[in-house]
Amino acid sequence: ARGKYTEQLSKLEDTTQRLNSIGKELENIDDNIENLDANIQEKVKLFNKHFADISQKLYGETFALSASFEKQKNTNNKFYKLNVDSLNARAGTGKKKGEILAFDLAYIKFADEQNIKCLHFVLHDQMETVDNNQIITFLQEVSNANCQLVTPVLRDKMPAELKTGAYEILSLSQEVKLFKI
């Protein structure tokens, strides 16, 4: 009987030791998550300097990215949820386009500042929905971000200030086509 109790005691001690080890691993994981969260929040703060600056120049409003660590419903899974504050649901198509382009330009500036490799061009369509004043400001910001904006614009929808061709790389027409058949 003594041998049986000694064996059970040994198993109990092993189990207690494993539980303590697992508890320490969980503490390390929690610490890493806290460090990761602090790192993400710092990166979001640095990104927002650029995003707020560009949006202020464009619309006189400050757009901001926010990140929150959330638990998924009905599971133990956790994830980061990113939100852009000021993506106004009632904003017109042009302003939504502007907000997206401001985000893209802010990311390029942020990536350069953080030495993150990224493409230095953005592709956007339907820029004719964006107000002419914002298009001109965008072109200045594109230049400041050391990138190219690739977008089709109908000549009759183009702001008068841009009809000089200074920003034009390629002009297409019925005669001059990108793809020839």
Which pLDDT band holds residue 80 (cuts at 50, 70, 90)? confident
Average per-residue pLDDT in the chain?
83
| Residue 112 pLDDT > 80 | yes
Residue 5 burial by Cβ neighbours in a 10 Å radius (0-12, 13-18, 19+): exposed
Q: pTM higher than 0.85, yes or no?
A: no
Handedness of CA 98, 102, 103, 107 (dihedral sign): positive
Which pLDDT band holds residue 52 (cuts at 50, 70, 90)? very high
- Determine the average pLDDT of the residues in 118-128: 85
Give residue 94's pLDDT. Answer: 75
CA distance 181 to 178: 10
| Residue 86 pLDDT > 70 | no
**Maximum pairwise Cα distance, the chain:** 100
Give residue 90's pLDDT. Answer: 61
Give residue 91's pLDDT. Answer: 64
